[in-house]
Amino acid sequence: MPALFRREAVVARRDAWLGEVQLVQPLSARIVVIATMIFLAAGALFAVTGSYTRRVHASGVMMPSAGLITITTPAAGVVSGTAVSEGQKVAAGQLLFVVDRDANSAGAPTRRQVIAALTEQKAALQRERSIRQSMAAAQKQSLSTQLATLTTQHDHLAAQLKNDDTTLPVMRAAMERLAGASAQHLVPDSVYQNQVFAFTELLGQHAQFQQASLTVEGKMADVRSQLGTFDDNLAKELSQTDRAISQLDQQIAEAQASRAIEVLAPSAGTLTAVRAHPGQAVAQGAPLVTLLSGDASLQADLFVDSASIGFIRDNAPVFLRYAAFPFQRFGLYEGRVKEVTRAPVQSESSLSDRAQAATARARSQQPGQYRVVVAPQLPYAVAYGAHRPLQVGMEVEADIALDSRRLYQWLLDPLYRARASFGVVTRPEAVDDSGAFDALYRARANFKAASGATASVGP
């Protein structure tokens, strides 16, 4: 008889009593999968949210912001005196060195003899001036006395002349009367002759008195003139003497300047790198000492190549490592970019010898180095719990931050570059970078359009 159930159903129910098949996985595989997914998610999150800053390594030296002043000698000679020491603080105009330029002759140094002779001449002129001043008062008093005497003489002569003016008319009248009487033979001729002689004698004395009065008046005028111009003449003579003394002073100063040169501090600051000592011969332009400005702060002068200068910006963070304080023991120090030169630095003539050597080592790798000025956050380094001030010329290495981007941007950067390069190559403008071909094509099209519009216009 036919079967109640299909054969496939019977076969399927035959093995049902064994139960359903279940796939059992070990616990370790689950943990690995979950951990892998977590790590992948964390990596993706880190790539999206995390960032990386590209830095460039640079080296240089510590320099003052105002620079170093290298004091040199203006002429060759021998250092005869010095008042400087390493680390000494000086004021502006303070004497630093004395450079002796005197040459020895047979008797003594030549310029010393010239200075001694000029000094003696100056002393003689000063003594002459002093004597002239002391004599001036006596001479003026003598002129005043002489004027007083002449005035007295003139008064006496004036009185005598006045008396003669009174006597002469009387004697003339008497002489005329005697002349009439003598003509009438009333008196003897001898009496008339005596009267004539007396009148003539009195007339001659009167003329002498007048001459003497004129002479005294002339002398009085001369003395008055001398008294009136006495002070001016004295001042003129003293001025001539002073002028001669000034000329001698100038000659002495020139001789002393040619004999010895005083080197003064151009500004206040601290002396360092003393190179000259007493008795040492120096050539013209030879450096004597280096002056560090007193109010200047230290900065790091770093040098980078042209491959990194395009990304360095002002106020960029910098990590400094001082050679005197190894960062493995004393750590890193922060700073900020203060200045970036936009042209290669060829020489550092204002640096000291030690700083020049360190700079040469920093720039010996590649030519065309650019200077980057970094202001350190701290003017000292912390070593063994103490603040150690930074020194001029101290070698320093630094890591300067260039640009900061997300990690996924750094990972996809090659793709961005490939896309940009592909776009540059495939653009039509790439055939002619100047765009001359496109401009010519547009100009021809515009010309054709304008020609067509003009041709369509007519009666």
- For residues 58 and 361, is the Cβ–Cβ distance under 8 A? no
Model pLDDT, residue 305: 82
> Domain residue spans in the chain?
59-66+297-404, 110-253, 408-438
Cβ-count burial 322-332 (b if 16+ within 10 Å, e if not): beebeeeebee
Q: Which amino acid is at 136?
A: A
- What are the C-alpha distances in Å from 426 to residues 34, 299, 420? 46, 49, 10
Which two structure tokens, joined as six digits, stand for 32?
Answer: 């690995």
Model pLDDT, residue 270: 78
The domain 59-66+297-404 belongs to what CATH superfamily?
A: Efflux pump adaptor protein, beta barrel domain (2.40.30.170)
pLDDT tens-digit map of 83-126: 777 777 888 888 888 887 765 444 445 666 777 777 888 888 88
pLDDT tens-digit map of 327-372: 888 888 899 988 888 777 754 444 444 455 555 554 454 556 888 8
**Bigger pLDDT: 60 vs 403:** 60
Q: Which of 52, 60, 64, 65 minimizes the C-alpha distance to 305?
A: 60
- Band (pLDDT 50/70/90 cuts) for residue 250 is confident
Model pLDDT, residue 24: 67
Model pLDDT, residue 351: 45
- Band (pLDDT 50/70/90 cuts) for residue 455 is very low
pLDDT at 6 over 70: yes
Model pLDDT, residue 454: 38
**Architecture category of domain 110-253 in CATH:** Orthogonal Bundle (1.10)
Asked which of 184-193, 265-274, 324-333, 373-382 is least confident by mean pLDDT, the reply is 184-193
For residues 112, 118, 124, 126, the Cα torsion angle rounded to the nearest 10 degrees is: -110
